[in-house]
Every structure is written in C-alpha cells, then in structure tokens.
Homo-oligomer: A and B are copies of this chain.
C-alpha cells in the first residue's frame, strides 16, 4: 500500500499555517510500513480538488484527505469525492447525535448547516470525532482506499491514532490490530542510537522500529500488527526488551511524556519540593516546570539571577566565590543551588550558570555550562559542554538539568 496525503484549504496556500497534518500522518504511516510518496495541498476549489484527486489515483492506492469537512459552503471535500466516485452522501445517525450533543454541551444553538457535517459517503467506515463535530471516514472503491479526516489537528490527530490506524489495518491484511509505543531517550544522538540498533532495525518488519531525532532527544516508535491487541503488545514487549538491553541507560520514558513531566512526576511521588536559580537559562527551566498544571505542589519557586549583582545580593552567593572562581564555575553553581533550596524552603535546589553565547564570558566559550544540584544533604555540580546557538544552548541546558535530577531521583528511589 502506498499513500498520498491531500490537504485541502486555501489558508495553507496563503501561507497562514503549516501543513502539520501531512507531517503527523506521514510519521504515523511510516510506523505501520505504509510508504508515503506524495503530499499535495490544494485550495477550497472543487475543480482543482477533483484534478488533484485524479492525479493521486494514478499514483497511489491510499489517498488521505485532510480538511474541508466543516459546515460552511467552502467545505467541499466530501461533496467533491462523492461526485467523483459516484457515491451518495447519507446522514449518519450516530454522528448527528454527537453533533447535537456537542452544541448542547457548549450551550449553543445548532444552526442548520451543521447537519451537513453528519453526512458520510454511503458504505464508509465512520471514524468517530471525539474532539469536534465532523466525523472522518474510510471508503474503498476498486483498488483505491479513500480516507477523509477533519482539518484541525486537535481533532484529526486523536481520530487517526485511535480509529484511523485501526481502520487502515483492516484494509491492509487480515491482522486487524495495530498498536504502537514510543520509547524516549536522552543523552545519545540519533545516529549513535541507530548504529547500536542497526542489526535489530534491519531484520525487523513486525514490529517496525522507527527512530526520530528531536531537540536533544531521540525517540523510537515501535509498531506491531497482530490478530489481537494482546498479541501485538507481546511483540512490542519483546523488541523493547532487546532495545533496552542495548540502550537502556539512555531511556527515560514512554509515549508523550517529557523529561520535565517525568521529573515532576517523580518529585510528586517522592513528596519532594524543588527550587531553582537560573543564570544563562533566564527562567526557562522554571517556565517549563510551571507549564504543567499542578506545579505548585512540587515547585516552590526561584530566581533568575542574570547578573553577578543578583547572584550576590538576591541569591546570596559569596562575592568572593565569584571573584575567585567566576560566575561560570562549579563553586558558583553549588552556592546557587544550595541557597535557592534554603531561601525557598525546598527539599532540592537546582541551578544553571554558564555561557549561552554568542560572546565568551570570563574566558569561557559559549556552551560552557555548570549545573548545580543540592539534594539529600549534598551539593554537587556537573559541567556540560554544548555547541549550538544561544537558543539551543539554553534549551539543552534545561534538558540536561532535568535529566540529571531525574536520574538522581530514580537512583534514590531504587536505592
């Protein structure tokens, strides 16, 4: 099966938004072994959409449409495809009820044109929309499969992951269940991880093993097909064990977690609180920590001590420490972490001091960073050396800090 993704929407052609749907669907399809050979974007214009559809049929067996399923007059994807395939549009009762409930919950009056959203191609498998109104659908004719998905990513992504993949699996072969799991790694590059796992990746077709580089992180998506969910998960468990034996020391979490979420979770489960003092990162660590709802239970607060003055007068670093060792030093990092914890009354303190760039500081090149930790009656620091832009250096510093603390808490838990 090879696929083409057709995104419908003039806002894409005007450059108002990125076609993130094509990226999401491509990654998902790669995970189940479907080749995507083309993406196409076309405006809300039925003639041009029809032509794009004809071209796609000439080169792809699966055509996935996103967008144009809404209630207004320029939403024409369904109508255009129905006419092209000679299929009728019929009202789907379940979708209609769900749309009515949507308006009831929102306490808004349903207008007549919303009924249009409950129309489906006759005989299509309906893909439930749990985050909006327009249902998706999958229909087959001749050698071709057509999947229609809503345009807003907040509706499309969960719909495809929950119902779309499964519906496709039914068309692909007799083994109707597809499951997938993402493993997240920190502290190893994509190329290095891929090299270590090469012998597994090469021989593996079910589950598939798909590495993807993120910002300072690497993920591996495992996707298995089997007759039942249980069997598919067993396949994934098996290959995960092999991967963990090879690269387990860099693994930190599953699926849509993040270093900060893992760290916050461990702090909460161990009943510990945190405080921070940030120099080069300028508040980025604290900003990220407090981006998670409920942060006030584990995070006491902290300082942005961008100047030496602030480090000394507000966070209470000894002026002599900075005179003798500089602000970019192990000693300064330790005092910052220690004092942050003490001043905020937190169990643990973390600090970041270093050179974000573009200029050198105290004779250190950009990317020289000390991360201080005060925890369990000890204070220590770790030096890291980065080589990115100012923005990347700050981002990676925060990720490294989260990772150091995460490892410490895990070890404390296991001890």
Contacts and interface: CB of A to CB of B under 8 A. Distances in A.
A12 interface: yes
Contacts of A306: 286, 290, 295-296, 299-301
Interface stretch (A34-42, A102-110, A143-151, A261-269): A34-42
Interface string A334-357: 000000000111000000000011
Contacts of A364: none
Contacts of A276: 304
Contact of A22 (B19, B26, B38, B303): B19
Contact of A19 (B39, B281, B295, B357): B39
Contacts of A289: 282
Contact of A15 (B26, B343, B345, B390): B26
A345 B313 contact: yes
B19 A15 contact: no
A287 B281 contact: yes
A67 interface: no
Interface string A267-282: 0000000001010011
Main SS class of interface, A:
mixed
A290 B282 contact: yes
Nearest to A24: B15
A30 interface: yes
Given A301-B303, A301-B305, A30 B14 contact: yes
B42 A15 contact: no
Nearest to A282: B290
A16 interface: yes
A72 interface: no
Contacts of A213: 16
A345 B309 contact: yes
A291 interface: yes
B15 A30 contact: yes
Contacts of A30: 14-15
Interface in A25-76: 25-30, 36-43, 48, 51-52, 55, 59
A177 interface: no
Interface string A172-211: 0000000000000000000000000000000000000000
A359 B357 CA distance: 39
Contact of A39 (B20, B41, B304): B41
A339 to B, nearest CB: 11
A373 B376 CA distance: 39
Contacts of A90: none
A15 B18 CA distance: 13
A310 B310 CA distance: 17
Contacts of A12: 22-23, 26, 39
A314 interface: yes
A266 to B, nearest CB: 18
Nearest to A280: B290
A384 interface: no
Contacts of A41: 22, 38-40
A91 interface: no
Contact of A43 (B18, B23, B37, B55): B37
A391 B291 contact: yes
Contacts of A358: 293
Interface of A: 12-20, 22-30, 36-43, 48, 51-52, 55, 59, 212-213, 276, 278, 281-287, 289-291, 293, 295-296, 299-307, 309-310, 313-314, 343-345, 356-359, 390-391, 394
25 contacts: A12-B39, A13-B39, A14-B27, A14-B30, A15-B25, A16-B23, A16-B212, A17-B23, A18-B20, A19-B22, A19-B23, A38-B42, A40-B40, A281-B287, A282-B286, A283-B285, A283-B287, A283-B290, A290-B304, A291-B391, A295-B306, A300-B309, A301-B305, A303-B303, A313-B345
| Those 4 A-B pairs whose CB atoms lie nearest each other, nearest first | A282-B290, A15-B27, A283-B283, A15-B26
